Every structure is written in C-alpha cells, then in structure tokens.
Amino acid sequence: MASGNIMRLDRLLTTLGEGTRAQVKEMVRAGRVTVCGVPARDSGMQVDAGSMEVRLDGRRLEYKAVRHVMLNKPQGTLTAARDKKQKTVMDLLPPLYAAMGCMPAGRLDKDTEGLLIITSDGQLAHRIISPKKDVSKVYFARVSGVLGEDDIAAFAAGLHIADSDGAFDAKPAGLEIVSTDGACSEVRVRVSEGKYHQVKRMLASRGAPVVYLRREKIGALSLDPALAPGQWRELTEEEVALLDV
C-alpha cells in the first residue's frame, strides 16, 4: 500500500543528504542504488519513500516525513541554522537534517549547555517557544553568591528586571537551592517564558551572577543523561508526545 510519500528517486536521495542532484545521478548510473533489491537505472523513477526499500551501497536509507532531534548543546556553539564565521548546532548533525528542513526550536546562549530540540515540524517548534503556551523550562545554574529563602520568595512573586539590556517584569518562577558552600550556590530555575538572557538576568538581579548554565527540561521532556555535550539522538514517539502541549 502506498504511504503517500511518492517522489523521484533523486529527490529522495538529496533530501536524505546523500549528495547533490548531479552526484545522485552518478550514483545511480554506477549501480550503487537499489530499489526493492533491484539496481535502479533511472534517477527520475518514482518511489514510495515510506514503503519501498531503497539502499545505497547496501545501506538501507530510512525516510521519515518529519524528524525530531534531542541535542545536548555544548558551550561555544551558536543556536542558529547557519553562520559564516561560527560553528552552529546544525553543524553537529549529519547533512540529512538540514536537508529535511530541521531548525532549532528556540535558542540557548552560546555559553549555555543543555537540552535543545531541533525539528522539521514548524508547528511543534512554535508550540515550544510560543509565550501563549507557557511551556516551562528548567535550568541548572552554578552562581557566584549565596541564595536563600528571600530569593525563592522573590522568584515566586515575579521579579522586575532593569539592567543594561533593558527592563521587563518576569513572570513568577521557581527557584530551588540545590547546594551552597558559603561563596557559591547551585540552583535550579523554572521559567515559563524566554526573554533575552532571562535566567542569567534574574539571578544577577539577586546578586548571584551565573558562572555555568545548563537547560535540563522543556515541558515534561528531560535531557537524556546519557548524552554528553555535543551528542544527539532522535526523539522517540513517546518523547514527542511529551512536547504536544
């Protein structure tokens, strides 16, 4: 039964990031591509990407109409689709994902680590970042300074931020003090909006500048602890459902 993903063979291969149209045509001419076990002779042949077995050099190619990736973003990498001078999060993934239109859903600062969703589903990305959806984000932070009960209450009441980046009223947020040693503190912050450098600015306003920041959770989805900074994997169907806010 047709899956509804009928397309030219050369388009399928280019969409999967296997090469340019010219390179793909040469692969077919060289007999490197098979469709349902038979060598393809025409790069323009119609294939059902969802149900027909297509192989390149014996390797089965997996087509998905939509792709979702969980990335543990490392420090020093821009959250952007592309940049002429600096490395971006898309540079950490195989070309397949850019070819399929995957984009970061929201942003993390260059020096911030942690959970970032990269998806080809624009509607899902919009739901994650839309202020109307109030999707919570949880961050772990190491700060210079000691925080206490007054700071927890101030976060819960909503902070007024006024600094060199401007002024705004932050919505009520959660602050959990994980540990403190008398000079530094480790905390978790839960926010439901994404103003510019928000978590850093909120903590700085309480006299606790951030020295390390990592996002651990978006909505009900947590960062996979098995992923080291710079590592990624595709989301499971169950994980995608957790983001269906």
Of the listed ranges 13-22, 107-116, 145-154, 198-207, the least confidently predicted one is: 13-22
Tell me what percent of the residues of the chain surpass a pLDDT of 70: 98
Q: Which is nearest to 133 in space by CA: 9, 240, 218, 54? A: 218
Separation CA 227–CA 156 (nearest Å): 31
Quick check: do 6-60 and 136-218 share a fold? no
42 noted as active-site residue: no
Separation CA 128–CA 105 (nearest Å): 7
User: Which of 227 and 132 is assigned the larger pLDDT?
Assistant: 227
pLDDT greater than 80 at residue 170:
yes
Tell me what percent of the residues of the chain surpass a pLDDT of 90: 82
Task: Check residue 1 and give its pLDDT.
Answer: 42
Answer whether 173's CB lies under 8 Å from 192's CB: yes
Each domain of the chain, given as residue ranges in start order, spans: 6-60, 68-132+224-242, 136-218
What is the mean pLDDT of the segment spanning 94-98? 88
Task: Check residue 28 and give its pLDDT.
Answer: 97
How many CB atoms neighbour CB 135 within 10 A?
A: 22
Task: Check residue 16 and give its pLDDT.
Answer: 85
Name the active-site residue from 109, 134, 150, 163: 109
User: Which of 183 and 2 is assigned the larger pLDDT?
Assistant: 183
Answer whether 230's CB lies under 8 Å from 75's CB: no
* Banded model confidence at residue 227, pLDDT cuts 50, 70, 90: very high
> What's the pTM?
0.83
What is the mean pLDDT of the segment spanning 74-88? 94
* Banded model confidence at residue 17, pLDDT cuts 50, 70, 90: confident
What is the mean pLDDT of the segment spanning 124-146? 93
pLDDT greater than 90 at residue 58:
yes
Question: pLDDT (tens digit, 9 = 90+) per residue, 191-202?
Answer: 999 899 999 999
Please tell me the CATH code under which domain 136-218 is placed: 3.30.70.1560
Task: Check residue 214 and give its pLDDT.
Answer: 98
How far lies 113's CA from each of 75, 193, 211, 216, 235, in Å?
Answer: 5, 18, 12, 9, 19
What is the mean pLDDT of the segment spanning 143-166? 96
What is the mean pLDDT of the segment spanning 94-115? 92
Please tell me the CATH code under which domain 68-132+224-242 is placed: 3.30.70.580
In the CATH scheme, what architecture does the domain 6-60 have?
Roll (3.10)
Separation CA 127–CA 105 (nearest Å): 9
pLDDT greater than 60 at residue 2:
no
